[in-house]
Chain A
Amino acid sequence: MNVIFFAIVMIAFLFAAVRQLLGGPQTGDTMPIEALSRSVVDSAAGAVELAIGLIGVMTLFLGLMKVAEKGGLLNVMSRLLRPVMVRLFPDVPADHPAMGAMILNMSANALGLGNAATPFGIRAMQELDKLNSEKGTATNAMALFLAINTSSITLLPTGVIALRASAGSGDPAGILPTTLFATLGSTLVAIAATKLYQRFSSPAPAVLTGTPAADPTTETAERTGAGGEHDLNQNSDPDSDQNPDHEYAHMLASASAGYPGWVSLLVLCCVITIIPWPSSTAP
């Protein structure tokens, strides 16, 4: 980001400077370097105006999301995702804490709760690492989890809707169908690409099946991270009572229950119907 920022500014400066000094095409009576100078000041002021204009819509959405979160929407979402996830990750036992953390991470991402998603994601990676026989090398499950994660599974792009509303859009939520289409497409490609590439990739580390030995690095990370899994596997992880983070533990436990597969399928179909297909939009 440092390089990009610097490069954009320098290119702009040099471009304007060259135009100024060579007396290139003059637009009206403003000189290139004058236009540049004005744009610096105007952009800086405009950025703050923009942020102030965002406050209203942003506040509204964050308030609404908090209500949904308190109402347990995250649980509903994670129950919907569970049947899909168990099939996608055959290497991860269905009742392993890694599964619960991954499901919660994806549910939070899908609902646009970025701040809630990160701790679950880090937790999921630590749990997946306990199934890893070769520390320092990514397992197939890690690769798939991160590929899906980077492809983004947003159902509700609240930040973009807020920005569009403040930019005076006639239809701020109009990007919902295109976003859903693109996000479903890229997620399917992420899954397909991971499953395909893993055949050509270096051999995967063997999957550990037994009770993982306590690992000092994960232990310290757990204390700072989103710890607490004693509801799920009381016996296999004696360290967990050191950090009784009840809220997360409770959520992890609830993520271990899932709706039957057909419910997830039904909801997926509902999401797909929101996307207008060309036949319905033909002018």
Chain B
Amino acid sequence: MLRDHNHPLAIIYGTVISPWIIPGLVAGFLAYGMIRGVRVYEVFVEGAKEGFYVAVKIIPYLVAILVAVGMFRASGALEAMVGMLGPVTGKIGLPAEALPMALLRPLSGSGAYGVLASIINDPAVGPDSYIGYLVSTFQGSTETTFYVLAVYFGAVQVRRVRHTMAAALTADLAGIMFAVLACTLLLA
């Protein structure tokens, strides 16, 4: 059952359980739907139709962010920043390459998704490296804090937010730290 990973950062856990997750989800969800009397094929197709539009809808955001990030990278500015900040943040397991992602995530969901895409599609990094795991975890485990606060408080015209902002930012910081911790433990 153990699959041989060629990647140096192969995870023992990943080789045993992870390969089961996607096929398991597909089979599990369909079986669940069948048991609950859902017409699985029709409903699947109905839901899947949205997939195309979702992907097309994000194109403008992706172009904007990927061009900006691509320019930043090509100009040599990213290298300079990594050189300056890397030694500092690297000590706590946060490579400078992952820093833009951590900073952008609370501000813009689509922006962070674009940065995530640019990082894991970079052949020098790739999705299965430490940085690849780290930025993927950032995206999955934190939320667009400022957007959520704006929409939800806006809906009830709350202006005095009291301790909400401080608590939300503490949680964001904790999310980044826990993501670093999880990736270091897993990929040590």
Which A residues contact B (CB, under 8 angstroms)?
Answer: 1, 4-5, 8-9, 11-13, 15-16, 19, 32, 35-36, 38-40, 42-44, 46-48, 50-52, 54-55, 58-73, 118, 121-122, 125-126, 128-129, 135-138, 142-144, 146-147, 149-152, 154, 156-157, 159-161, 163-164, 167-179, 181-187, 189-190, 193-194, 197-198, 200-202, 204, 217-218, 221, 225, 274-278, 280-281, 283
Q: Which residues of A contact B155 (CB under 8 A)?
A: 122, 125-126, 221, 225
1/0 contact string of B130-172 vs chain A (CB within 8 Å): 0011001101111111001101110111111111101110111
In whole angstroms, how far apart are the Cα atoms of A197 and B50 in the complex?
Answer: 41
Q: Does B108 contact A (CB under 8 A)?
A: yes
Q: Does B30 contact A (CB under 8 A)?
A: yes
Which B residues contact A (CB, under 8 angstroms)?
Answer: 5-7, 11-14, 17-19, 21-22, 25-26, 29-30, 32-33, 35-36, 38, 40, 43-52, 54-56, 58-59, 62-77, 80, 104, 106-108, 111, 113-114, 116-118, 120-121, 126-128, 132-133, 136-137, 139-145, 148-149, 151-153, 155-164, 166-168, 170-172, 174-175, 177-179, 181-183, 185-186, 188
Q: How far is the CB of A225 from chain B (nearest CB, A)?
A: 8
- Given known pairs A67-B30, A163-B116, the reply for A181 and B178 (CB within 8 Å) is yes
Our pick among A128, A129, A150, A178 for the contact of B168 (Cβ within 8 Å) is A150
Q: How far is the CB of B29 from chain A (nearest CB, A)?
A: 5
- Given known pairs A167-B121, A183-B141, the reply for A160 and B136 (CB within 8 Å) is yes
Our pick among A12, A129, A176, A217 for the contact of B75 (Cβ within 8 Å) is A12
In whole angstroms, how far apart are the Cα atoms of A181 and B140 in the complex?
Answer: 11
Q: Which residues of B contact A125 (CB under 8 A)?
A: 152-153, 155-156
In whole angstroms, how far apart are the Cα atoms of A184 and B70 in the complex?
Answer: 33
The answer to whether A151 touches B153, judged by C-beta atoms less than 8 angstroms apart, is no
Q: Which residues of A contact B54 (CB under 8 A)?
A: 58, 62
In whole angstroms, how far apart are the Cα atoms of A70 and B73 in the complex?
Answer: 44
Q: How far is the CB of A113 from chain B (nearest CB, A)?
A: 11
